[in-house]
Chains A and B, each alone.
Chain A
Amino acid sequence: MNMPHNNITKTLIEKFPADVIESHEAYGDTTVIVKKGRITDILRFLKEEIQPSFEMLIDLCGVDYLQWKDSARFEVVYHLLSLKTHDRVRVRAPLSEEDPTIDSVSPLWKAADWYEREVFDMFGIIFHRHPNLKRILMFEGFEGHPLRKDYPAEKRQQIPTAEIDLLHLSLQNRHFSETDHLPTRSMILNIGPSHPAMHGALRYQVELDGETIHRAVAEIGYLHRAFEKHSESSTYTQVIPYTDRLNYLSSMMNNVGFAHAVEKILGVEIPPRAKMIRVIVCELSRIMDHLVCLAAAFVDLGALTNFWYFFDAREKIYDCTEKLAGARLTTNYTRIGGVWRDISPDIITGIHKAFKVLDKAILDVSRLLERNRIFIDRTRNVGIISKEDAVSYGYTGPCLRACGVPYDIRKDQPYYDYDRFDFDVPVGSRGDVNDRLMVRFEEMRQSAKIIQQALTRLPPGPIMIEDPKIALPAKSNVYGSIEGLMNHFMIVTQGICPPKGEVYSATEAANGELGFYIVSDGGPRPYRVRCRPPCFPLTASSERLVEGGMIADLIAIVGSLNIVVGELDR
Chain B
Amino acid sequence: MDILIFILKIVIPPVLVLNFIPLMIWFERKGSAYIQERRGPNRAHILGIRLGGIIHNFADVIKLITKEDIIPANVNRLYFIGAPLIAIFVGIVTIAVVPLADSVQIGEKLVHIQVADLNVGILYVFAISSLGVYSVLLAGWSSNNKYSLLGGLRAASQMVSYELALGLTVVGLFMLAESASVSEIVRHQGPHVLHWNFVQQPLAFIIFWIAVFAETNRTPFDLPEGESEIVAGYHTEYSSMKFALFFMAEYAHMVVAAALITALFFGGWQVPFLTTLDLKTQAPFYLYVTVLTVSFIALFFGLLLLSQFKKGKYRDARDYEVLVFGIPLFLLALAGGGSAIFTGPWALPEWGRVLFAALVQATSFGIKMTFFAFFFIWIRWTLPRFRYDQVMNFGWKGMLPLALLNIVVTGVVLLWKGNHHG
Contact = CB atoms under 8 A, between A and B. Distances in A.
A378 interface: yes
Q: Which among A301, A309, A553 has the highest number of chain B CB atoms within 10 Å?
A: A301
Contact of B387 (A195, A305, A372, A377): A377
B255 to A, nearest CB: 22
B36 A309 contact: yes
B150 interface: yes
B302 interface: no
Contacts of B383: 302-303, 372, 374
A211 B383 CA distance: 22
Nearest to A552: B387
B192 interface: no
Contacts of A312: 37
Interface in B8-65: 32, 35-38
Contacts of B301: none
Interface string A339-371: 000000000000000000000000000001100
B220 A302 contact: yes
Contacts of B38: 308
B326 to A, nearest CB: 31
Interface in B386-405: 386-390
A552 B229 contact: yes
A13 interface: no
A482 to B, nearest CB: 59
B228 A299 contact: yes
Contact of B228 (A300, A309, A374, A553): A300
A391 interface: no
A229 B35 CA distance: 47
A369 B229 contact: no
B163 interface: no
A551 B384 contact: no
A368 B146 CA distance: 33
Contacts of A8: none
Given A305-B381, A551-B230, A555-B228, A378 B386 contact: yes
A197 B231 CA distance: 8
A171 interface: no
B150 A211 contact: yes
Q: Which of B226, B229, B388 has the most CB of A within 10 A?
A: B229
A309 B32 CA distance: 12
A378 B384 contact: yes
B222 interface: yes
A380 to B, nearest CB: 12
Interface in A292-310: 298-305, 308-309
B37 A553 contact: no
Given A197-B228, A302-B219, A302-B222, A551 B385 contact: no
A196 B146 contact: no
Contacts of B387: 377-378, 550, 552-553
Nearest to A195: B231
Contacts of A196: 227-228, 231
Interface in B180-239: 219-220, 222-223, 226-231
B382 interface: yes
Contact of B388 (A187, A195, A302, A552): A552
A375 B219 CA distance: 13
A153 interface: no
Contacts, number: 82
A327 interface: no
A189 interface: yes
Contact of A550 (B37, B384, B389): B389
A550 B220 contact: no
A303 B386 CA distance: 11
Contact of A302 (B147, B230, B384): B384
Contacts of B147: 189
Contact of A309 (B37, B150, B230): B37
Q: Which range contains the number of A residues in contact with the other chain? A: 20 to 34
A302 B37 contact: no
Interface string A378-389: 100000000000
A211 B227 CA distance: 16
A369 B389 contact: no
Given A211-B150, A550-B387, A550-B388, A368 B228 contact: no
Interface in A434-490: none
A290 B282 CA distance: 63
B229 A368 contact: no
Contacts of A309: 36-37
Nearest to B385: A302
B371 to A, nearest CB: 20
Nearest to B154: A211
A211 B224 CA distance: 12
B226 A302 contact: yes
Contact of A372 (B32, B384, B389): B384
Contacts of B219: 302
A301 B382 contact: no
A302 B35 contact: no
A374 B229 contact: no
Interface in B119-166: 146-147, 150, 154
Max chain A Cβ within 10 angstroms of own Cβ: one of B32, B147, B383, B386: B383
B150 A377 contact: no
Most A C-beta atoms less than 10 A away, residue of B150, B219, B385 = B385
A368 B37 contact: no
Contacts of B228: 196-197, 299-302, 555
Contacts of A195: 231
Nearest to A212: B389
Interface string B398-417: 00000000000000000000
B386 to A, nearest CB: 6
Contact of A368 (B226, B382, B388, B390): B382
Contacts of A301: 228, 384-385
A354 to B, nearest CB: 15
A298 B229 contact: no
Contact of A377 (B230, B381, B390): B390
Nearest to B226: A302
Contact of A298 (B227, B230, B384): B384
Contact of A197 (B146, B220, B229): B229
A305 B389 contact: no
B150 to A, nearest CB: 7
A211 B154 CA distance: 9
Contacts of B35: 305
A374 B219 CA distance: 11
B381 A304 contact: yes
Contacts of A377: 386-387, 390
**Most chain B C-beta atoms within 10 Å of own C-beta, residue among A368, A369, A378:** A378
A189 B147 CA distance: 8
| Candidate in A298, A300, A309 with the most chain B CB atoms within 10 angstroms | A300
Contacts of B146: 187, 189
Given A211-B150, A377-B387, A551 B381 contact: no
Most interface-central of A197, A372, A552 (chain B CB within 10 A)? A552
Nearest to B387: A552
B220 A308 contact: no
A211 B388 contact: yes
A2 to B, nearest CB: 52
Contacts of B222: 302
Closest 4 CB pairs of A and B: A302-B385, A308-B36, A303-B384, A197-B228
22 contacts: A187-B146, A196-B231, A211-B154, A300-B228, A301-B384, A302-B220, A303-B384, A305-B382, A308-B37, A312-B37, A369-B384, A374-B383, A374-B384, A374-B386, A378-B390, A550-B387, A551-B150, A551-B388, A552-B223, A552-B385, A552-B387, A555-B228
Given A308-B36, A369-B384, 18 more contacts: A196-B227, A211-B388, A211-B389, A298-B384, A301-B228, A301-B384, A301-B385, A302-B384, A303-B385, A304-B32, A305-B382, A308-B37, A372-B383, A374-B386, A375-B384, A552-B226, A552-B387, A555-B229
Interface of A: 187, 189, 195-197, 211, 298-305, 308-309, 312, 368-369, 372, 374-375, 377-378, 550-553, 555
